[in-house]
């Protein structure tokens, strides 16, 4: 059974009389990549700050590796790596020198470990260059190297692909998947890039107005929401559409229709009787973005 790395139980946060978080609860197991998503002002950053002990919890509890973040802060935080907003880097030093400085904060981190993380983030060829000469993507990768230098089993990232080009996003995705699968790291990602999270995460947690409205496997959350269309590919889309008033037009002789699995044979029989050839029938794959808008009522992401 997979071990729970992070557990948030009934987190509440108030600033004065204003309640920001209301009974926020979720957990992450080792090897999970959980996308933490919500509209602007939903409480994502506040939740992350409570997890990291950067703000006091009004009510509730955060446990990391079984340790309470408030009562046993040192033990709870020692196996956590995080980048909130942008990584803190010394621009006038080389990438290697930035990592070397961090070894003073941890025990048991030698040059061999530095070389390991440099290889993980694919900066071998540029690690001796000054950070001021790095691209944004390279700085992000160096930030990840800093965050995992002390071998954490929980990695928390706020917008890790922000500002990256498609190649940089691809490299970041591959790196995070490797960390989750090979290092058994639990990863929490807060991001507005829903298309990227769709390709990256195996679980998702949606927060709205300070409350968790859904926590699920990413495949499950997409199946639960809204209509479940079946897509038909035929030889004559116009004829099929005229025959089926509920059908919605798509390109290339395809149409989709909101029916249950049990109704599919009836539609096929109807099409065959009218001499319409059927090439393919499949369930529409809903995107995380579609599921998000359906769950939150179409709130705009910042």
| pLDDT tens per residue, range 174-207 | 889 989 998 889 999 998 778 778 888 999 998 9
Q: How confident is the model at residue 258 (pLDDT cuts 50, 70, 90)?
A: confident
Domain that holds residue 230: 226-285
Is 302 part of a structural domain of the chain? no
Q: Are residues 215 and 266 in the same domain?
A: no
Under a CB-based contact definition with an 8 Å cutoff, are residues 11 and 24 in contact? yes
Q: Are residues 149 and 219 in the same domain?
A: yes
Q: Give 129's contacts (C-beta < 8 A, 6+ positions apart).
A: 94, 95
Domain end (from 201, 223, 245): 223
Q: Are residues 114 and 232 in the same domain?
A: no
Phi then psi dihedrals of residue 238, to 5 deg: -65, -45
At 135, list the tokens. 């691209």
Is 59 part of a structural domain of the chain? yes
Q: Are residues 254 and 163 in the same domain?
A: no
Q: How confident is the model at residue 225 (pLDDT cuts 50, 70, 90)?
A: low
- Total domains present in the chain: 2
65 vs 50: CA distance, rounded Å: 16
Domain CATH code at residue 230: 3.30.70
Task: With residue 266 as reference, give the H or E element that holds it.
Answer: helix 264-273
Mean of pLDDT over the chain: 87
Q: Are residues 210 and 253 in the same domain?
A: no
Residues 103-119: b if buried by 16+ CB within 10 A, e if exposed: beeeeebeeebbeebbe
Q: Are residues 67 and 38 in the same domain?
A: yes
At 43, list the tokens. 């409480």
Confidence (pLDDT) at 301: 42
Q: Are residues 219 and 236 in the same domain?
A: no
Q: Are residues 98 and 206 in the same domain?
A: yes
Can you say how many angstroms the Cα of residue 257 is from the centroid of all Cα atoms in its chain?
30
What's the number of CA atoms in the CB half-sphere (13 Å) around residue 70? 12
Under a CB-based contact definition with an 8 Å cutoff, are residues 187 and 179 in contact? yes
Under a CB-based contact definition with an 8 Å cutoff, are residues 106 and 170 in contact? no
At 127, list the tokens. 């690690």
Q: What is the pLDDT of residues 42-90, one digit of tens each?
A: 899 999 999 999 999 999 999 999 999 999 999 999 999 998 877 889 9
Strands (E), the chain: 4-15, 18-29, 33-37, 59-64, 67-68, 80-83, 154-158, 186-190, 203-208, 211-217, 229-234, 248-249, 254-258, 278-283
Confidence (pLDDT) at 52: 95
Q: Are residues 132 and 276 in the same domain?
A: no
Is-above-0.85 flag for pTM?
no
137 vs 160: CA distance, rounded Å: 9
Residue 302 pLDDT > 60? no
**Residue found under tokens 């995080």:** 82
Q: Are residues 179 and 276 in the same domain?
A: no
Q: Are residues 45 and 161 in the same domain?
A: yes
Q: Give 91's contacts (C-beta < 8 A, 6+ positions apart).
A: 130, 131, 132
Reduced to 3 states (helix: H, G, I; strand: E, B; else coil), residue 164 is: coil
């Amino acid at each position: 059974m997979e071990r729970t790395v992070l557990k948030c139980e009934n987190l509440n946060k108030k600033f004065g009389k204003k309640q920001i978080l209301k009974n926020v609860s979720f957990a992450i197991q080792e090897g999970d990549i959980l996308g933490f998503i919500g509209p602007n002002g939903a409480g994502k950053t506040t939740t992350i700050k409570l997890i990291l002990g950067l703000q006091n919890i009004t009510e509730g509890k955060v446990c990391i590796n079984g340790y309470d973040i408030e009562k046993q802060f040192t033990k709870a935080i020692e196996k956590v790596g995080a980048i909130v907003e942008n990584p803190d880097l010394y621009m006038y030093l080389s990438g290697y020198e930035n990592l070397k400085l961090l070894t003073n904060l941890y025990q048991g981190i030698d040059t061999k470990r530095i070389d390991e993380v440099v290889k993980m983030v694919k900066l071998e060829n540029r690690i001796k260059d000054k950070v001021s000469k790095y691209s944004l993507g390279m700085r992000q990768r160096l930030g990840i190297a800093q965050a995992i230098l002390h071998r954490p089993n929980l990695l928390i990232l706020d917008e890790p692909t922000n500002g990256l080009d498609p190649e940089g996003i691809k490299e970041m995705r591959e790196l995070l998947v490797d960390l989750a699968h090979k290092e058994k790291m639990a990863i929490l990602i807060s991001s507005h890039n829903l298309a990227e999270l769709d390709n990256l995460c195996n679980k998702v947690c949606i927060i709205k107005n300070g409350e968790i409205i859904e926590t699920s496997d990413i495949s499950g959350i997409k199946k639960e929401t809204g209509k479940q269309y079946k897509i038909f590919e035929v030889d004559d889309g116009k004829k099929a559409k005229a025959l089926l008033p509920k059908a919605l037009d798509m390109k290339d002789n395809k149409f989709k229709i909101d029916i249950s699995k049990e109704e599919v044979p009836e539609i096929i029989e109807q099409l065959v009787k009218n001499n319409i050839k059927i090439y393919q029938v499949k369930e529409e794959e809903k995107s995380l973005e579609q599921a998000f808008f359906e769950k939150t009522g179409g709130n705009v992401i910042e």
